[in-house]
């Protein structure tokens, strides 16, 4: 059986969403995840303070940036899930003047998620109430702009 | 079934579910009959008792379309092919007859077969050899002419490319195969003129590969080779697992050369990202394992449903408990456990359960989510925060809605001594009419209390209700598109489900009250 890698599916969706939003190529993206970085192993040494030594690392803080006029929503998609599913994360409480923000995301539960890879991305929309924490999306909504996904590996 | 074994010297023990069914089986003896309910078959060397292969058994129904063939390349270089075939059952209630054919080729024979050209390919190969000889003569001439050394090396490299891997016509080939009880082997052949890097991600949470996978090409020693390159096989051992096993999706990621050789054409996304699903079981690995299926067959998305909903499921390869969860539109961060089913049996393909959704959809819409997981321990009626739901478990979800809701009275209320009270309700669908009906338990008929009342979506309205004597009563809210469907004072034997035009009438309730 040959199947596409979910990462590429998300990348395709991202490109599609960007195209729908009329984002010109080469310009600063409307939304992006700034930290963690693609390929990071979670928890990162001395960075993920929400993950005390010896405990499962179920949640981390994420830094991102969004263009003025948009409101960010953080979303997480487990790479190994059978079929696309995107979980909307706790709401962002504030966005700085330059568009930077910080929010929290869950990477699995205490018993599930160790050794798994997760795609983290920002969904941007002009309506602050467009998405709600805990919503499960099976595709990126056509009216949202999605950032490039950042794939991380949860190691404990 | 025909046996074509060429190894009369090597014999095997065949063990089914831990019991030896053949002690010294020579593959030339032909097929072995198997118990259709067998879980797994072990093949061991009859002399050394070394485990050669483990074969988890399939559902006999899956063999209806054809035999199940498992090719194995053993670490010794031997090749073994295990073929399980089913003959249809004699009677309707009988099980099909299963047989296992072991075909074994020793390493020397495998090597000989690989080197010997097939009859069909003799002429093209001879032509290629003649061409190669011509190129060699040309190179010798050019070398003899003392052409600069760099040019000579370049031509030599091309010549080398022409004579090596002559039969390999594809830009790359990727193959996963099972080589042990918990071991998977990856064989990759690439053309280095078109492929720059190959990575593998075994999707093993006990020993995860880095994001993007672990590089398997270029390998040390093959970096400088141009053209088709067969890579050394890469073997990965999955962890020991208990039932129901571990479903994973090992993947390969191929990176193209920045300027690939145009002769080899382009690669599709599927060629660049091949993967397979494996089911690591306690007894072995199933390659190309079926993807778990958990689907809500009924109701359908966007259906208007009563409080008690019969949910029908379609399932396959689902092994953990099945939970029914409700998510209200007012707070999607909290999931309500509506009930669950025990882990399905391997042959169980469908299930039905009635769940109570009365606490959901106060504003109309809610989600019903069905998930197979062993990680939710909540009892029916309990709530689970969304982030404690396993993210990767098989699930299906759909949006449903209720037609309306009775705000008051609430279940268990006592009606006033006068027997007259007010029922407050909401209709959650646009352009509908509402009636209230009460049913005394002793009479077993429904008394319609009002003529159809035009409603606004989600707006609360009130209807005065007259109960009868001392009894227990059921209160029902009827929702219809027909303004003439009922009259105040109607006595109904049962609650009609469609109006005169065949449009549905929704009944919300009952809310039980008493008139003591």
CATH number of the CATH domain containing A78 = 2.60.40.10
CB atoms within 10 A of CB B334: 16
pLDDT at B423 over 90: yes
Cα distance between residue B177 and residue B185, in whole Å: 5
Cβ atoms B277, B249 nearer than 8 A: yes
Q: Which of B242, B272, B287 is a domain's end point?
A: B287
Residue bearing tokens 């011509």: B134
* Residue B218 preceded by cis peptide, ω within 30: yes
pLDDT in tens, A79-136: 887 777 899 999 999 999 999 999 999 999 988 899 999 999 999 999 999 999 999 9
Cα distance between residue A54 and residue A43, in whole Å: 11
CA angle B338, B342, B345 (to 5 degrees): 140
Q: Is B208 on the interface with A (CB under 8 A)?
A: yes
Domain extent at residue B465: 404-515
Asked whether residue B241 falls in the same domain as residue B207, the answer is yes
Split into its structural domains, chain B has a count of: 5
In a domain, B3, yes or no: no
The residue of chain B with its CA nearest to that of A80 is B392
In a domain, A96, yes or no: yes
* Residue A43 preceded by cis peptide, ω within 30: yes
CB atoms within 10 A of CB B29: 13
CA angle B187, B188, B189 (to 5 degrees): 130
pLDDT in tens, A4-57: 444 444 444 444 444 444 444 557 899 999 999 999 999 998 889 889 888 999
Q: Is B332 on the interface with A (CB under 8 A)?
A: yes
Query: What residues in B contact A40, CB-CB < 8 Å?
Result: 211
Question: Shortest CA distance to A149 belongs to which of A36, A20, A2, A22?
Answer: A36
In a domain, A108, yes or no: yes
Of residues A8, A76, A114, nearest to B205 (C-beta): A114
Predicted complex ipTM exceeds 0.95: no
In a domain, B298, yes or no: yes
Question: Shortest CA distance to B486 belongs to which of B432, B425, B442, B405?
Answer: B432
pLDDT in tens, B384-396: 999 988 877 888 9
Q: Tell me how far CA of residue B498 lies from CA of B277, B427, B431, B480, B501, in angstroms.
A: 48, 17, 16, 8, 8
Q: Residue B433: which pLDDT band, with cuts at 50, 70 and 90?
A: very high
* Residues β-bridged to residue B230: B189
Domain extent at residue A90: 6-154
For residues B459-474, give the mean pLDDT. 91
Residue A129 confidence (pLDDT): 92
3-state helix, strand, coil in chain B (%, to 5): 15, 40, 45
CATH number of the CATH domain containing B337 = 2.60.40.2550
In a domain, A85, yes or no: yes
Asked whether residue B461 falls in the same domain as residue B494, the answer is yes
Verdict on whether the full-model pTM lies above 0.95:
no
Asked whether residue B357 falls in the same domain as residue B448, the answer is no
pLDDT at B55 over 80: no
Q: Is A1 on the interface with B (CB under 8 A)?
A: yes
Residue B62 confidence (pLDDT): 62
Cα distance between residue B373 and residue A81, in whole Å: 13
Residue bearing tokens 């058994």: B57
Cα distance between residue B100 and residue B411, in whole Å: 63
Residue B166 confidence (pLDDT): 45
Higher model confidence: residue B270 or residue A144? A144
DSSP one-letter string for B22-72: EEEE-GGG--EEE-TT--EEEEEETTT--EEEEEEPPPGGGGTTS-EEEEE
For residues B154-179, give the mean pLDDT. 60
Higher model confidence: residue B482 or residue B149? B482
For residues B226-230, give the mean pLDDT. 72
Asked whether residue B212 falls in the same domain as residue B317, the answer is no
CB pairs under 8 A between A and B: 104
Split into its structural domains, chain A has a count of: 1
Q: How far off is chain B from A41, nearest CA to CA, in Å?
A: 8
Q: Is B397 on the interface with A (CB under 8 A)?
A: yes
Residue B91 confidence (pLDDT): 67
Q: Which of B401, B427, B454 is a domain's end point?
A: B401
* Residue B510 preceded by cis peptide, ω within 30: yes
DSSP one-letter string for B300-333: -TT-B--SEEEEEEEEES--S-EEEEEEETT-TT
In a domain, A1, yes or no: no
8 Å CB contact of A8 and B390: no
Q: Among positive and negative, which fits the CA dihedral A38, A41, A46, A48?
A: positive
CB atoms within 10 A of CB A16: 14
Residue B225 confidence (pLDDT): 61
pLDDT in tens, B306-353: 888 999 999 988 888 999 999 998 888 999 999 999 988 878 899 999
């Amino acid at each position: 059986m040959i199947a596409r890698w979910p990462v590429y599916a998300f990348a395709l969706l991202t490109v599609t969403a960007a195209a729908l939003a009329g984002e010109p190529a080469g310009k600063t993206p409307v939304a992006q995840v700034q930290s963690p970085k693609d390929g990071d192993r979670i928890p990162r040494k001395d960075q993920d303070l929400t993950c005390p030594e010896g405990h499962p690392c179920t949640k981390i803080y994420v830094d991102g940036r969004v263009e003025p006029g948009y409101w960010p929503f953080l979303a997480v998609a487990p790479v190994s899930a059978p079929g696309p599913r995107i979980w909307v994360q706790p709401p962002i409480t504030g966005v700085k003047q330059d568009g930077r923000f910080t929010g929290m995301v869950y990477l699995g539960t205490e018993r599930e998620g160790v050794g798994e890879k997760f795609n983290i991305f920002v969904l941007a929309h002009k309506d602050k109430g467009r998405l709600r924490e805990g919503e499960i999306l099976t595709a990126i909504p056509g009216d949202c702009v999605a950032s490039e996904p950042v794939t991380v590996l949860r190691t404990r | 079934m025909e046996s074509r074994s060429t190894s009369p010297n090597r014999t095997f023990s065949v063990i089914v579910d831990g019991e030896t069914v053949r002690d010294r089986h020579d593959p030339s003896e032909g097929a072995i009959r198997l118990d259709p309910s067998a879980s797994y078959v072990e093949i061991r060397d009859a002399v050394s008792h070394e485990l050669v292969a483990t074969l988890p058994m399939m559902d006999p129904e899956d063999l209806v379309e054809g035999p199940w063939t498992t090719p194995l390349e053993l670490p010794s270089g031997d090749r073994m092919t295990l073929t399980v075939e089913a003959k249809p059952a004699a009677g309707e209630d009988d099980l099909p007859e299963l047989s296992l054919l072991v075909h074994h080729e020793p390493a020397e024979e495998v090597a000989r077969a690989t080197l010997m050209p097939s009859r069909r390919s003799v002429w093209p190969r001879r032509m290629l050899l003649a061409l190669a000889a011509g190129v060699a003569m040309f190179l010798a001439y050019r070398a003899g002419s003392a052409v600069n050394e760099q040019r000579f090396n370049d031509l030599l490299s091309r010549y080398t490319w022409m004579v090596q891997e002559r039969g390999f016509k594809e830009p790359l080939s990727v193959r996963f195969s099972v080589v042990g009880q918990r071991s998977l082997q990856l064989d990759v052949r690439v053309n280095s003129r078109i492929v720059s890097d190959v990575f593998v991600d075994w999707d093993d949470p006990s020993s995860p590969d880095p994001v993007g996978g672990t590089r398997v090409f270029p390998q040390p020693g093959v970096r400088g080779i141009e053209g088709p390159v067969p890579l050394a096989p890469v073997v990965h051992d999955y962890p020991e697992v208990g039932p129901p096993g571990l479903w994973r999706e090992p993947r390969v990621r191929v990176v193209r050369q920045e300027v690939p050789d145009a002769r080899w054409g382009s690669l599709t996304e599927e060629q660049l990202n091949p993967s397979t699903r494996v089911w690591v079981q306690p007894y072995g690995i199933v390659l190309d394992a079926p993807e778990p299926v958990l689907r809500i067959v009924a109701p359908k998305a966007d259906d208007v449903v009563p409080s008690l909903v019969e949910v029908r499921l379609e399932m396959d390869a689902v092994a953990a408990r099945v939970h029914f969860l409700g998510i209200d539109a007012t707070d999607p961060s909290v999931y309500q456990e509506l009930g669950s089913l025990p882990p399905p049996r391997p042959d169980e393909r469908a299930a039905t359960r009635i769940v109570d959704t009365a606490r959901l959809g106060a504003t109309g819409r809610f989600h019903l989510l069905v998930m197979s997981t062993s990680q939710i321990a909540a009892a029916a009626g309990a709530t689970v925060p969304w982030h404690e739901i396993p993210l990767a478990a098989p699930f299906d979800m759909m949006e449903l809605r209720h037609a309306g809701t009775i705000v008051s009275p609430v279940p268990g209320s006592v009606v006033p001594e006068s027997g007259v009270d007010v029922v407050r309700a909401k209709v959650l669908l646009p352009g509908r009419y509402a009636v209230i009906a009460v049913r005394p338990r002793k009479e077993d008929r429904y008394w319609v209390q009002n003529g159809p009342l035009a409603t606004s979506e989600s707006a609360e309205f009130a209807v005065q209700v007259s109960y009868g004597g001392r009894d227990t009563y059921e209160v029902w809210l009827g929702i219809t598109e027909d303004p003439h469907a009922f009259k105040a004072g109607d006595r109904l034997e049962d609650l009609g489900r469609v109006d005169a035009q065949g449009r549905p009438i929704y009944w919300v309730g009952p809310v039980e009250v008493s008139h003591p």
